[in-house]
């Protein structure tokens, strides 16, 4: 996928000088989305958001985020271009470095952006990297992906998609909440994911690995774990054996229409 965005390069002190226009977009995104979080985002996310104490008025500097993550779970961020290869992505996660594209969406794509920008990465994902189970799962995922074949990585991508990006959580007798960063950074999907419109199913690793998805639509199906701590249990499963089984069985029928190619 091509990108029109160009990431900023930090200076010798690791600082990025964002423009007033870029900071204003961050401020508007933050103000709009933070009001959606209470009662919808999971407790672990809300605790992480408080711990990061990120700027509301300007794009946070990665060094400030790193100080909190390093103390909490040993993670830090890594400034990257808008798009990076799969191999580099897995390498960073395996080293407990979370890739952050250092650009922010344009006014034209304020409501919806297919590729991850700094708001998606910092606001959507970094709060949960303060959580030990989420951090451990992300680290394990990186190590698995680094050792996987190209074909295996395609199946592993679905595990990341339906957990880290678009996962839901609901304990017994508790309300349905969000932990996926793709939802948490999207005002529209935050409301949609908890509505009556999509299908929701209990997390099943083999089924998740066989479920097709599209990046350019609201998700027709979400998988629900019982707690963020359950990510530790997934991390301890023989995930690559499940990948082999998923490859053998093939994909499940898609729950969405195929994407229409531009003529």
Q: Catalytic: 120?
A: yes
Nearest to 52 by CA among 19, 81, 75, 22: 75
Question: Annotated binding site for Fe cation: which residue ranges?
Answer: 120, 125, 165
Q: Catalytic: 125?
A: yes
Tell me if 242 sits within 8 A of 155, measured CB to CB: no
Instruction: Say which of 120, 121, 138, 139 is annotated catalytic.
Output: 120
According to DSSP, the residues that pair with 128 across neighbouring strands are none
Query: Left if phi > 0, otherwise alpha if psi is -120 to 50, otherwise beta: which for 53?
Result: left
Q: Catalytic: 233?
A: no
**Residue 19 CB-density burial (10 A; 0-12 exposed, 13-18 middle, 19+ buried):** exposed
Instruction: Say which of 138, 185, 186, 227 is annotated catalytic.
Output: 185
Question: Annotated binding site: which residue ranges?
Answer: 120, 125, 165
Instruction: Say which of 91, 121, 165, 189 is annotated catalytic.
Output: 165
How far apart are alpha carbons 148 and 156 in whole angstroms?
9
According to DSSP, the residues that pair with 98 across neighbouring strands are 77
Instruction: Say which of 22, 91, 125, 227 is annotated catalytic.
Output: 125
* Biggest alpha carbon–alpha carbon distance for the chain: 52
Report CA dihedral (102, 6, 190, 64) to the nearest 10 degrees. 10
Active site residues: 120, 125, 165, 185
């Amino acid at each position: 996928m091509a990108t029109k965005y160009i990431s900023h390069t930090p200076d010798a002190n690791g600082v990025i000088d964002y423009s007033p226009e870029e900071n204003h977009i961050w401020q508007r995104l933050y103000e709009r989305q933070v009001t959606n979080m209470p009662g919808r985002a999971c407790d672990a996310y809300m605790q992480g958001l408080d711990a990061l104490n990120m700027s509301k008025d300007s794009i946070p500097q990665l060094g400030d985020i790193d100080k909190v993550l390093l103390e909490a779970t040993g993670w830090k961020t890594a400034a990257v271009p808008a798009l990076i290869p799969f191999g580099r992505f897995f390498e960073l996660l395996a080293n407990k470095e979370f890739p952050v594209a250092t650009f922010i969406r344009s006014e034209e794509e304020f409501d919806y952006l297919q590729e991850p920008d700094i708001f998606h990465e910092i606001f959507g994902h970094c709060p949960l990297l303060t959580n030990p189970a989420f951090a451990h799962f992300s680290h394990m995922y990186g190590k698995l992906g680094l050792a996987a074949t190209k074909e295996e990585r395609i199946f592993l991508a679905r595990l990341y998609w339906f957990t880290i990006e678009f996962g839901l959580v609901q304990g017994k007798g508790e309300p349905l909440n969000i932990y996926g960063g793709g939802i948490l950074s999207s005002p529209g999907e935050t409301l949609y994911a908890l509505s009556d419109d999509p299908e929701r199913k209990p997390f099943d690793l083999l089924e998740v690995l066989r479920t097709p998805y599209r990046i350019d639509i609201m998700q027709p199906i979400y998988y629900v774990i019982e707690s963020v701590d359950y990510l530790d249990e997934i991390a301890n499963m023989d995930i690559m054996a499940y990948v082999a089984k998923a490859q053998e069985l093939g994909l499940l029928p898609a729950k969405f229409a195929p994407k229409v190619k531009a003529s």
